[in-house]
Amino acid sequence: MTKKKTQKKTKEKTKAKSQKKNKSKTLKFNYAPALESTKVEILEKYGNFIGGEFVAPKTGKYFDTVNPADGKKLASLALSGSADVDLAVKAARKAFKSEWSQLTGSERGKFLFRIARIIQERSRELAVLETLDGGKPIKESRDVDIPLVAQHFFYNAGWADKLDYLVPGKKVKPIGVCGQIIPWNFPMLMLAWKIAPALAAGNTVVLKPAEQTSLTALKFAEICQEAGLPKGVVNIITGAGETGAALVDHKDVNKIAFTGSTDIGKLIARNAGKTNKKLTMELGGKSANIVFADAAIDQAVEGIVAGIFFNQGHVCCAGSRLLIEESVKDLVIKKLKARMKQIRVGAPLDKNTDLGAINSKEQLKKIRDLVKQGQKEGGEFWQVETVLPTRGNFFAPCLFMDQSGSSTIAREEVFGPVLSVSTFRTPDEAIAKANDTNYGLAAGIWSEKGSKVHMVASKLKAGIIWANTYNKFDATSPFGGFKESGYGREGGRHGVLPYVEVE
């Protein structure tokens, strides 16, 4: 035997020995961190994107955007005032009149296809930036958000030259300049839901991203430049509520599309009502996930987890109220608790993370305050015991059980990883409980019986109803609410309709 071979053999022997030893010692193990490594260029300072160029704000003021996972500053952003909004609206009006509304649908479509392809090419970079700025796990921004963003541009590009078929027998024309205001929970996806149909229909836009998460919108501005989109068709202005209010109040804006809290939605509707702007509103929710005894329980447990813990519960259509048929309550809760213990909370850029950082300090405080209030109101409170990172905004998944239907956690939108659980005995009781809310955005039904699913779905007052799944999205499918969850639809043919005038 050569020396080399003997060495190899001894090595193998020691390895086997140590593996045997390790097996008896280390029954538990932790994944090594696997951080997404794509490099993203973030400038120190960003102006607004107006008329195809980045320009410094007239206010001369800037604010910080931070990484919620460690509290560190990422960049300075323009704090825009009404003069900046005015500049953006003027650029959008000019582009609308002189160019965009004059192009044929197929020419507009080409730009949208080009944007969609660039988004696909730069998807890793966009996903990392979305996660850095907003705190959502990389596996969600990479596998859910950014692919859907590209899909919405591809899908709406297809409408651009088919608008003659949008409303059978009628001609349609664009509305003009659209003001779009979006929240921090799906920053780039909400941008796509709004910009893609608006542009396909021949409108130009001024979009204000949420102050917490503007970076991917500013990257999108770079993508518009790269695609050679005519100047002024897309304008991005950054700032907080006052900037949004200036856009709502602007006299030369023809439509406002808003996604965000119900309170601000109502305020915007009141203010825009004084002008003749068209409005679409996508607001909050307190959606019910209904589990019948005949459901595939393991599958339902996965759906419950996806319904409320996906994206830290920062989801307007989150399945935040779980209704379980009484006979299977103990079984579902046992399996649910076991599954919740497996949720990995931590560094958003780690590929193994299931639940990332809460988007802002303010949101973390809101969740903590509501949970404290819930604990005072009684019932059972159970939270996963896990070690949370010491820096940044983190909150462990939890649930409340056996609270009254009038309790805070059962009624208010927490917008965090907090589940409210109650039971029912008959389908009618489940329907009544599910509908007992001011909201009406989504619902989930879990049952092996198709007829029961259809019967229950037809009686639920919710815009989106999932059967034996939850939180699944598609660009071809309309999304929107009933009651205080808003009006108007986004996605599908329905999502293009609010961006046209029917002649």
Residues making contact with ligand NAI (CB under 6 A): 181-185, 208, 210-211, 240-241, 244-245, 248, 259-261, 264, 267-268, 283-284, 316, 363, 366, 413, 415
**From residue 454, how far is each of 324, 430, 446 by CA, in Å?**
18, 14, 11
426/301 Cα distance (integer angstroms): 20
Taking the complex as a whole, how short is the minimal distance between the CB of residue 315 and ligand NAI, in angstroms? Answer: 8
Of 36, 282, 413, 490, which is the active-site residue? 282
Question: 200, 197, 205: which is closest to 178 by C-alpha?
Answer: 205
Taking the least distance from each CB to ligand NAI, the nearer of 131 and 363 is 363
Taking the least distance from each CB to ligand NAI, the nearer of 145 and 350 is 145
Find the residue with minimal CB distance to ligand NAI.
244
CB atoms within 10 A of CB 357: 29
In this structure, the strands spanning 321-325 and 418-424 are parallel
Taking the least distance from each CB to ligand NAI, the nearer of 360 and 422 is 360
173: tokens are 């024309």
Among this protein's residues, is 317 annotated catalytic? no
Question: 206, 204, 205, 208: which is closest to 184 by C-alpha?
Answer: 208
Of 224, 316, 317, 398, which is the active-site residue? 316
Among this protein's residues, is 380 annotated catalytic? no
Q: Is 256 left (phi over 0), alpha (psi -120 to 50) or beta?
A: beta
Question: 214, 243, 206: which is closest to 91 by C-alpha?
Answer: 206
Taking the complex as a whole, how short is the minimal distance between the CB of residue 366 and ligand NAI, in angstroms? Answer: 5
Taking the complex as a whole, how short is the minimal distance between the CB of residue 16 and ligand NAI, in angstroms? Answer: 55
189/282 Cα distance (integer angstroms): 14
Single-letter code of the amino acid located at 447: S
Taking the complex as a whole, how short is the minimal distance between the CB of residue 415 and ligand NAI, in angstroms? Answer: 4
- Judged by DSSP in three states, 216 sits in helix
Taking the complex as a whole, how short is the minimal distance between the CB of residue 200 and ligand NAI, in angstroms? Answer: 23
Taking the least distance from each CB to ligand NAI, the nearer of 257 and 301 is 257
Taking the least distance from each CB to ligand NAI, the nearer of 140 and 413 is 413
Helix pair 82-98, 241-249: axis angle to 10 deg: 50
Taking the complex as a whole, how short is the minimal distance between the CB of residue 263 and ligand NAI, in angstroms? Answer: 7
Taking the least distance from each CB to ligand NAI, the nearer of 260 and 488 is 260
290/468 Cα distance (integer angstroms): 10
Helix/strand/coil percent split, the chain, to 5: 45, 20, 35
Single-letter code of the amino acid located at 367: I
Single-letter code of the amino acid located at 246: A
Single-letter code of the amino acid located at 165: Y
Taking the least distance from each CB to ligand NAI, the nearer of 185 and 203 is 185
- 322 CB burial (10 A radius; 0-12, 13-18, 19+): buried
Taking the complex as a whole, how short is the minimal distance between the CB of residue 370 and ligand NAI, in angstroms? Answer: 9
- Catalytic residue list: 282, 316
